[in-house]
Structure 1
């Protein structure tokens, strides 16, 4: 039995839709880690991240981007994807969550599957540190899953169809700014275009309106700005503003992880495919 959707936070439950066809591409090197060049076969952005909550319940989310640290390669997702509570509006500082080391199954495009481990969760870290800042507790929603070193060669850091990311966006979003995302769970190609409408939590969360909006299962999906830079991670679903989505600011989430996550400095791995804006 899959985990049911929350009214505010998107608990990922929907099965993944499209599989992008194509042929196997040669490998490429990124910062000393052998990564797969753009192809229809690989694990990375858009992969299904499956976390077993209990014997009967699984949480299914979508991977955002690929990251590297001093000792490991990681795939990002939302921290709430490993949450075990049923709260309508959870605070990451108090909501129950699975511990670090929890297994996460990573199902990639074209069939590859790997078992990773939850290596960092903003929720776990904030609870260990006793954080009580309301903005931090509500909007710092980011996790890293360590890839099995044996499967590093399966990792493709490029966003399907869009390409990129070209780097990390560090100045947030302004109202009206264009955003792009790959979210595979409600039909079509999975590519979505939208715009930023507002900020919450002093810039820790960006309200965006995309067409169609993210649905359960899209939690954790990455967002790119008009230059292809990684700007955020799908975290919440709003019931107003044309059913927009809340996007956790990636630069701020990553800065918190670097300072307090215990993994050392973690950096975004750029895509090996050039970014192509759409719409």
Structure 2
């Protein structure tokens, strides 16, 4: 992202563009038992794995499935955006088409994409969908930032739905966050050079703004979400999936983050994606807020 462009905006999306090295619920529970997930300790595709879309790096959030048994990994829709980092209105911003290839990687940094551990294709994007249906609701356009990457069949056996370090999710938060509520996340920006010890993060909610219609939850984390953390999973104090990292706030709350409300993002996808039985998969590991 360009410093001049960032300074002029109140929020900025958090994808990273990698320079080449040479350039320097019950339905969900039944789905979980039907799928033979890889053990959490050895799975290489999971919430928090790095995703690369046309050179842009983001962090996967949650695992989803459908009635056909397909497996999807969530990422931010803006990770396949074709505009600037300040283009955060999904109803206006350019975006790559469905079917675009995404790779899942470990150890990516600013000079290397690390080791590829799997592949998938974009099967749903809220940005593409909002373009197609002519969405006009301002909050939906601003905060509906979810894409689903269909995991390639040979790589499904490498997937576990648990959030690393924390465990869960144990369901979906449908009530939002109040001021001071604890939240838990796992970001995997290439800016950290693949050092996963820096990935687990805790934070507190700044309280929901009624004007956002429940679509966004502003918060602070230690450390803040940075470019490349885009899409990261956020859990509430009960281990429920509450949101996905979307933007870094620059004003009026510097270094705060905004997360899109997962219950609304998923409901929108269920309504418009054409994927029968689309649902969140709970983690196989218990939620343990150890920090």
**TM tier relative to shorter chain:** 0.7 to 0.9
State the distance in 2 between where 1:9 and 1:69 align: 32
Q: Which residue in 2 is equivalent to 1:106?
A: 104
Contact 1:45 1:65 in 2 (8 A): yes
Residues 140-159 of structure 1: matches in 2 within 5 Å?
140-159=144-163
Residue 228 in 1 paired to residue 239 in 2?
yes
Give how far 1:199 is off: 2.4
Contact 2:184 2:236 in 1 (8 A): yes
State the distance in 2 between where 1:36 and 1:76 align: 18
Contact 1:79 1:141 in 2 (8 A): yes
Q: In structure 1, which of residues 47, 70, 76 is the aligned counterpart of residue 49 of structure 2?
A: 47
Q: Structure 1 152/114 Cα, relative in aligned 2: closer, same or farther at 3 Å?
A: same
Q: Structure 1 157/112 Cα, relative in aligned 2: closer, same or farther at 3 Å?
A: farther
State the distance in 2 between where 1:206 and 1:233 align: 10
Give how far 1:94 is off: 1.3
CA deviation profile, 1:150-199 (whole Å, cap 9, x unmatched): 21110011111111111111111111110000113346431111111032
Contact 1:93 1:127 in 2 (8 A): yes
- Normalised to the residue count of structure 2, the TM-score between the two structures is 0.83
State the distance in 2 between where 1:129 and 1:137 align: 12
Residue 217 in 1 paired to residue 221 in 2?
no
- Normalised to the residue count of structure 1, the TM-score between the two structures is 0.87
State the distance in 2 between where 1:226 and 1:272 align: 18
Between structures 1 and 2, the one with greater helix share = 2
Q: Which residue in 2 is equivalent to 1:251?
A: 263
State the distance in 2 between where 1:228 and 1:178 align: 10
Kindly tell me the number of residue pairs found equivalent between the two proteins.
259
Q: Which residue in 2 is equivalent to 1:194?
A: 203
State the distance in 1 between where 2:221 and 2:40 align: 25
Runs of 4+ residues deviating >6 angstroms? 3-6
CA deviation profile, 1:189-239 (whole Å, cap 9, x unmatched): 311111110325211010010011000000000000011111100001001
Q: In structure 2, which of residues 61, 76, 80 is the aligned counterpart of residue 64 of structure 1?
A: 61
Q: In structure 2, which of residues 106, 129, 135 is the aligned counterpart of residue 131 of structure 1?
A: 135
Residue 237 in 1 paired to residue 241 in 2?
no
Q: Which residue in 2 is equivalent to 1:78?
A: 76
CA deviation profile, 1:7-26 (whole Å, cap 9, x unmatched): 333242177xxxxxxxxxxx
State the distance in 1 between where 2:14 and 2:188 align: 15
Q: Structure 1 120/228 Cα, relative in aligned 2: closer, same or farther at 3 Å?
A: same
Residue 264 in 1 paired to residue 276 in 2?
yes
State the distance in 2 between where 1:88 and 1:181 align: 23
Q: Structure 1 149/167 Cα, relative in aligned 2: closer, same or farther at 3 Å?
A: same
Structure 1: gaps spanning 5 or more residues? 16-28, 53-57
State the distance in 1 between where 2:199 and 2:166 align: 10
Q: Which residue in 1 is equivalent to 2:21?
A: none
Q: Secondary structure at the match of 1:168?
A: coil
Give how far 1:127 is off: 0.4
Q: Which residue in 1 is equivalent to 2:175?
A: 171
RMSD over equivalenced CA pairs, Å: 2.1
Contact 1:34 1:152 in 2 (8 A): no
Contact 2:187 2:199 in 1 (8 A): yes
Contact 2:17 2:56 in 1 (8 A): no
Contact 1:105 1:115 in 2 (8 A): yes
